[in-house]
A and B are shown apart, each in its own frame.
Chain A
């Protein structure tokens, strides 16, 4: 049984169907990348997995370690080892990182039957894990995300990931808005956190993150469905050709050749698309 098992998942919000039958299995040790254009539903999938309540599951199921994930409260999911790095991490003025993480780490540890972390061990862990993403230790003492730069917020998310040691880590467009140095730091952090028990689901718009984090599987999401699954070469292909050719039940080649450049701005020539 895979760690994460998504079957025919349909999701709607206020009468609009966003996910229209998603199937995906991810197991420990695997890195899955989900790529897709804006509005394809990839971030919705991340939010649903993390437990946002405004979405309605109209069909299908999600199992995590054999349990019905959709039945679990957001905090329960986190306690059971599901982690999401937010696309837009929330600022929490007045909530110190230290207190926040102490609460968070111990809530997760308690749920997993582990002992509460002592003060000294906690401080040691903060130091180790913040080094992993090159996070200024001063930031671990400030209010959560308050006044952080865009890059600092994203690194802070990976720092939380490292602290909470989840079994399933979902990264929702963690690469967006990062310059190349920050991107590398984030990717290095993730690579160090890869291990045989942990699954990663990386949601991204661009292929460039995947230059640094090598995925085992790449899924192309179009119009609320996984239109194609492949290995890392698919990411390169998507970057070059865009997504048009995948829409409309796989008969998109002709459409792409009608001269639609890729949506995300890559200068795909019509000829190239037609050739492929």
Chain B
């Protein structure tokens, strides 16, 4: 063995070292709820390390293996900038919204255009929000994406703990009791430019109080002039709280291009008779792993979680969803659809967990995949874990190629084969696209899917 003077640091060790090297400001410059957890969080991460596919929850996705680079770990002192033109080019046409922008995981005051908000509401930076609403942070931060009590699944907490150790900035959305946001919030997440791969750890908190309402559209985009340094990795954590009778409508589009990877954790908790909807659309990226956990904690909640993943190239996309039915009389519905081509890999692992005593749960889970090429792979693992007898729960999973009979039917009506395939792929994605309640987003998504498979705009939603 060649003698090496210095022992090479493991990836984990680099993070531990980076943590110790954090400035006082970075460690302690925020509210107690955030800074008070850092030490315990890094210890938790040290104990667990990055998830490998030895863990059941990461059986098909080896996060540790994807981390091959030397990252810039320490949080940037100030937000890197993006130009007004860049941001404007990435707004959704016809969407009138409160616009917030993050660059490299930091909130960009200059590029955000929040505008007037209803009384008491806050839309803006996580760092600033913490100082403005310490009581809200005390009550909610770290309560849902809680690395210390991921009781059901400690395997999942390493990435959450790592984020909690480093969390500096991101978005904070606060809608107080009885307030409805008049416009949706549009959040644009841009990568930071540069040659060195960045390991960003944005942290977002969304609090929709009792009888309040909000819609949030998040898009991670990487415009051409702002490509990631190859290997960039984002470890994002989101938490959402929806109070009784509240309604939170959430969308996230992941399209940061090849060369970038991300691990996202989203824990949502909602109270009696509230509605929580979320849609995850993954269009590009190297490795994308989404951990989504929803806990309808009060009676008569409604949760909808949908997903659409279009894999191409070497993309690896893994959606893990958990619905914790901790209260009776709730409805949850999930529909995840994937189209995989080239060497792409798609993973769906959904779990519906009905707790003891949570009677009269109606839970439905569906995963459908189309594989276009031999080199593409699908792993589907829908799970039901049920401890109450008066329930209606079901799941389904299908994987196959496009239906040859359907293609023939279209061709025999004069539609060329290529076009027939495109139409059928668009049709496959259609019910997920139709679940979008924001028209500008639905239109944008329809165009994206159409353009991807060469179907143009003819697949118009609802026409």
A and B touch in the complex (CB under 8 A): yes
Using CB atoms and an 8 Å cutoff, list the residues of chain A in contact with chain B. Answer: 50-52, 73-75, 77-79, 83-84, 86, 89-90, 92-96, 98-100, 102-104, 107-108, 111, 143, 160, 164
| Closest residue on chain B to residue A166 by CB atoms | B414
Tell whether, in the assembled complex, residue B423 and residue A74 are in contact, meaning their CB atoms are under 8 Å apart: no
Tell whether, in the assembled complex, residue B414 and residue A52 are in contact, meaning their CB atoms are under 8 Å apart: no
A94-B427, A95-B423, A102-B458 known; A75+B406 contact, CB < 8 A: no
CA distance A79 to B320 in the complex (A): 46
Tell whether, in the assembled complex, residue B427 and residue A103 are in contact, meaning their CB atoms are under 8 Å apart: no
Chain B 414-447 near chain A by CB (<8 Å), digits 1 or 0: 1111011001101111110000000000000000
CA distance A89 to B405 in the complex (A): 9
Tell whether, in the assembled complex, residue A75 and residue B463 are in contact, meaning their CB atoms are under 8 Å apart: no
| Closest residue on chain A to residue B434 by CB atoms | A94
Does B387 touch A at the CB level, under 8 Å? no
Closest chain-B Cβ to A65's Cβ sits at a distance in Å of 16
| Closest residue on chain B to residue A77 by CB atoms | B412
Tell whether, in the assembled complex, residue B460 and residue A86 are in contact, meaning their CB atoms are under 8 Å apart: no
Using CB atoms and an 8 Å cutoff, list the residues of chain B in contact with chain A. Answer: 403, 405-406, 408-417, 419-420, 423-424, 426-431, 458-460, 463
CA distance A160 to B427 in the complex (A): 19
Which residues of chain A come closer than 8 Å to B413, judged between CB atoms? 75, 78, 100, 104, 107, 160, 164
A98-B463, A99-B458, A99-B463 known; A92+B414 contact, CB < 8 A: no
Tell whether, in the assembled complex, residue B410 and residue A108 are in contact, meaning their CB atoms are under 8 Å apart: no
Tell whether, in the assembled complex, residue A99 and residue B459 are in contact, meaning their CB atoms are under 8 Å apart: yes
| Closest residue on chain A to residue B418 by CB atoms | A75
Closest chain-A Cβ to B246's Cβ sits at a distance in Å of 32
A89-B409, A143-B427 known; A104+B415 contact, CB < 8 A: yes
Which residues of chain A come closer than 8 Å to B411, judged between CB atoms? 51, 73-75, 78
Which residues of chain A come closer than 8 Å to B459, judged between CB atoms? 99
The listed residue with most A CB atoms (<10 A of its CB), out of B411, B458, B463, is: B411
Tell whether, in the assembled complex, residue B419 and residue A103 are in contact, meaning their CB atoms are under 8 Å apart: yes
Complex A-B: 30 CB contacts under 8 Å: A51-B408, A51-B411, A73-B417, A74-B417, A75-B414, A75-B417, A75-B420, A77-B412, A78-B414, A79-B414, A84-B412, A89-B409, A90-B403, A90-B406, A92-B409, A92-B410, A94-B426, A95-B427, A99-B423, A99-B458, A99-B460, A99-B463, A100-B413, A102-B458, A103-B423, A104-B410, A104-B414, A107-B415, A143-B427, A164-B414
The listed residue with most B CB atoms (<10 A of its CB), out of A84, A99, A160, is: A99
10 closest Cβ pairs, A-B complex: A94-B427, A78-B414, A94-B430, A74-B411, A95-B427, A104-B413, A107-B414, A90-B409, A75-B411, A108-B414
Which residues of chain B come closer than 8 Å to A83, judged between CB atoms? 412
A90-B406, A103-B419 known; A51+B414 contact, CB < 8 A: no
CA distance A104 to B459 in the complex (A): 13
CA distance A143 to B419 in the complex (A): 17
Tell whether, in the assembled complex, residue A90 and residue B415 are in contact, meaning their CB atoms are under 8 Å apart: no
The listed residue with most B CB atoms (<10 A of its CB), out of A50, A74, A78, A111, is: A74
CA distance A84 to B414 in the complex (A): 11
| Closest residue on chain A to residue B414 by CB atoms | A78
Which residues of chain A come closer than 8 Å to B429, judged between CB atoms? 94
The listed residue with most A CB atoms (<10 A of its CB), out of B417, B427, B430, is: B427
CA distance A16 to B428 in the complex (A): 36
Which residues of chain B come closer than 8 Å to A95, judged between CB atoms? 423-424, 427
Which residues of chain B come closer than 8 Å to A92, judged between CB atoms? 406, 409-410, 424, 427
A96-B463, A98-B463 known; A78+B412 contact, CB < 8 A: yes
Which residues of chain A come closer than 8 Å to B416, judged between CB atoms? 73, 75, 107
CA distance A94 to B429 in the complex (A): 8
Tell whether, in the assembled complex, residue B423 and residue A52 are in contact, meaning their CB atoms are under 8 Å apart: no
Closest chain-A Cβ to B403's Cβ sits at a distance in Å of 7
